[in-house]
Structure 1
Amino acid sequence: MSTKNTQGLFTAEEVLELLRFQKHDNLNHFQVILGFLQLGKFDRALNYVKHTIENISQNGKIMLLGCPYLSVTLLKKQLYAQRNNIYLNFELTDRFLKQRYINNSFVLCCERLINLVEENKSMDLERKDVLLRFDRLNGQVILELSVKPCFNKEREEMADGVRLLLKELDNKGLIKERYCDEKLTLIITLPEKSEVE
């Protein structure tokens, strides 16, 4: 999707909501740091600052994907996920960022993976920490999705779309590894070129 087509993806209300969310997030970070300092826990304050800087840096890289549509979509998903106590973070390796070509299959897979997480939010709003990691290796784009705590893939109430996505990815041989315990991890590889489109 072109930049022109992304203009309608954020309404004015959504932009204001994103700014409010970022302001609230920043204030929360300052309060945590101040709390550690008031308690004399200087090492914990320093570690928290380092961890927060790393998270902000990694999440900021989502704007460097080379696909404005995907960047905007993931930022929106991140904003809305937090309303359901789903903390969505992104990690982009230097290998991934060196080449910014992204095909439509990759964009679609990213969207569907995030939808998979959203559709399986806990009814009791238990916090979920989600990491979507982007990498490249040997002509393959690698997506790694980690969800903790793991949602139960066998639940009856699981959306049909989720089961279909996992089955489709399995049938295409795209899920290279899958771990399920307290945390679900899916490692998916996609060809960089457009032959899968």
Structure 2
Amino acid sequence: MEERDVIQLLRHYRHDLLNQLQIIDGYLSMGKGEKARIKLADYVGHLQKESKLMNLNAPLFALYVLQLDTLHPNFRSSYYIHSENMDLHQVDQLLVEYFQKIMAITENMIDVMELYELKLHIYDKNSGIVQLELIINGRFPDLSTLVETMGKVNEMITVSEHGDGITCAVCIP
């Protein structure tokens, strides 16, 4: 990552932090202490979730996840870490490569006027296996072709269609 990319990431992060603080300050100035406490608790929860991401010991993957909404403007992402003590240093680059591959294929088959919801789940499976699961919801112009294309890319990626989206999963030993 270039220095300018780091600065851009920090600028975006600072902007988000200031927005959250201004909302909390606004609630307090209107005498809505309970709403301010709820907003503060939500933000603390967000920071704790971010801490779990950083503690995965996968810096490339963490940076990619933190930049998702910027790198992929048609997607709004959230992520969930389903483990307390994962060390993903050995598979850091591989996680990013699979994630980028899934996103590249998906972006080639979206409606650019549509906003998609992306939920990332990271599971610590038994025997040191890590599962990366992406649930992508939204109106796809041709969902069945997306599923078919995704399935042909790599045998490690499993894909299934559901309602208004797809679920892609990769298990990495």
Normalised by the shorter chain, which TM-score bucket?
Answer: 0.7 to 0.9
User: Relative to 1, partners in 2 of residues 1:15 and 1:168: Cα closer, same or farther, differing over 3 Å?
Assistant: closer
Which structure has more relative contact order (CA 8 Å, sep 6+)? It is 1
State the aligned residue count.
171
Would you say the 8 A contact 1:86–1:129 is kept in 2? yes
- Measured after TM superposition, the shift of residue 29 of structure 1 is 0.5
Distance between the aligned counterparts of 1:30 and 1:190, measured in 2? 39
**Residue in 2 that maps onto 1:4:** none
- CA distance in 2 between partners of 1:79 and 1:54 (Å): 22
Alpha-carbon RMSD across the aligned residues, in angstroms, is 3.4
TM-superposition CA deviations, 1:65-119 (whole Å, max 9, x none): 33333333333444433xx263333222225x33434276544322223435555
Say whether residues 1:56 and 2:47 are aligned partners: yes
Distance in 2 (CA, whole Å) between partners of 1:105 and 1:65 is 14
Distance 2:10 2:108 in 1: 25
> Counterpart in 2 of 1:91?
80
Relative distance call for 1:52 and 1:69 in structure 2 (3 A) is same
Q: Does the 8 Å CA contact 1:135/1:141 hold for their aligned counterparts?
A: yes
Deviation at 1:189, TM superposition (A): 4.3
Deviation at 1:154, TM superposition (A): 0.9
Classify 1:151/1:59 alpha carbon distance in 2 versus 1 (closer, same or farther; 3 Å).
Answer: farther
Gaps of 5+ in 2: none
**SS of residue in 2 equivalent to 1:89:** strand
TM alignment of 1:21-100, pairs within 5 A: 21-81=12-72, 84=73, 86-94=75-83, 97-100=85-88
Tell me how far apart the structure 2 counterparts of residues 85 and 189 of structure 1 sit (CA, whole Å).
23
TM-score where L is the length of structure 2: 0.72
Matches within 5 A, 1:8-19: 10-19=1-10
- 1:188 and 2:169 equivalent? yes
C-alpha distance in structure 2 between counterparts of 1:130 and 1:167, whole Å: 21
2:101 paired with 1:112: yes
> Once the 2 structures are TM-superposed, how far is the Cα of residue 26 of structure 1 from its aligned partner?
1.0
Q: CA deviation digits over 1:40-81, x for unaligned, max 9?
A: 333332222222222222234333333333333333444433
Change (3 A) 1:79 1:57: farther
1:167, distance to aligned residue in structure 2 (A): 4.0
Contact 1:59 1:89 in 2 (8 A): no
The residue number in structure 2 matching 1:195 is: none
TM-score (norm 1): 0.65
- The alignment-based identity, stated in percent, is 19
